[in-house]
A and B are shown apart, each in its own frame.
Chain A
Amino acid sequence: MAPALVWLTALMVVPCALVLALAFFRRGIYGGIDYTFTLENFGLVFDPLYAGIFLKSARIAGTATLIAVVIGYAAAYAIAAAPRRWQPVFLFFAVLPFWSNYLIRTYAWIVLLNREGLITQLLRWFGYTGEPPSMLYTEGAVIAGLVYNYLPFVILACYAPLSRLNPELAEASRDLGASAATTFRRVILPLTVPGIAAGAVFVFVLSIGNFVTPALLGGGRFQMIGNLVYDQFLTANDWPFGAALAMALIAIMLLVLMAQAMAANRAAGRAAEARGNVDG
Chain B
Amino acid sequence: MAERSPATRRTLWLVLGLVFAFLYIPIAVLVALSFNEGGLPTAWSGFSLKWYVSLAHNSAILSAALNTLIVALVSTAIATLLGTLLAIGVEMRRQYGKGLEALIFAPMIIPDIVLAIALLSFFSMLNLTMGLHTIILAHVVFNLAFVCSVVRARLKNFDWSIVEASADLGASALTTFRRVTLPVILPAVIAGALLAFTLSVDEFIIAFFTAGAGRASTTLPMQIYAMIRFGITPEINALATIVMAVSITALTLSQRLNRGMIGQ
Contacts and interface: CB of A to CB of B under 8 A. Distances in A.
Interface string A77-118: 111111000000011111111011111111111111010111
B244 interface: yes
A4 B85 contact: yes
Interface string B238-264: 001001100110011000000000110
Nearest to A151: B23
Contact of A148 (B22, B88, B89, B247): B22
Nearest to B26: A108
Contact of A104 (B13, B30, B115, B138): B30
Contacts of B23: 93-94, 97, 148, 151-152
A127 interface: no
Nearest to A16: B118
Interface string B77-93: 00000110110111000
Contacts of A71: 19, 22
A107 B135 CA distance: 24
B88 A1 contact: yes
Interface in B118-154: 118-122, 125, 137-138, 140-141, 144-145, 148
Given A148-B22, A233-B120, A107 B107 contact: no
Interface of B: 1-2, 4, 8-9, 12-13, 15-16, 19-20, 22-27, 29-30, 33, 40-43, 82-83, 85-86, 88-90, 100, 103-104, 106-107, 110-115, 117-122, 125, 137-138, 140-141, 144-145, 148, 198, 202, 204-205, 209, 221, 224-225, 228-229, 232, 236-237, 240, 243-244, 247-248, 251-252, 262-263
Given A12-B141, A82-B12, A101 B42 contact: no
Interface of A: 1-5, 7-9, 11-16, 18-19, 22, 71, 74-75, 77-82, 90-97, 99-112, 114, 116-118, 121, 148, 151-152, 155-156, 160, 165, 167, 170-171, 174, 180, 205-206, 209, 211-212, 215-216, 226, 229-230, 233-234, 239, 242-243, 246, 249-250, 253
B240 A14 contact: no
Contacts of A22: 121
B111 A205 contact: yes
Nearest to B93: A1
B151 to A, nearest CB: 11
B16 A5 contact: no
Nearest to B13: A78
Contact of B42 (A19, A74, A121): A121
Nearest to B125: A18
Contact of B16 (A12, A82, A152): A82
A230 B209 CA distance: 9
Contact of B117 (A77, A105, A246): A246
Contacts of A230: 113
Contacts of A7: 82, 140-141, 144
14 contacts: A4-B83, A8-B106, A11-B119, A12-B110, A15-B122, A22-B121, A91-B262, A108-B29, A111-B42, A148-B26, A151-B19, A211-B113, A229-B117, A239-B117
A74 B15 contact: yes
B111 A116 contact: no
Given A90-B16, A101-B247, A107-B236, 6 more contacts: A8-B107, A12-B107, A79-B16, A97-B24, A103-B225, A229-B117
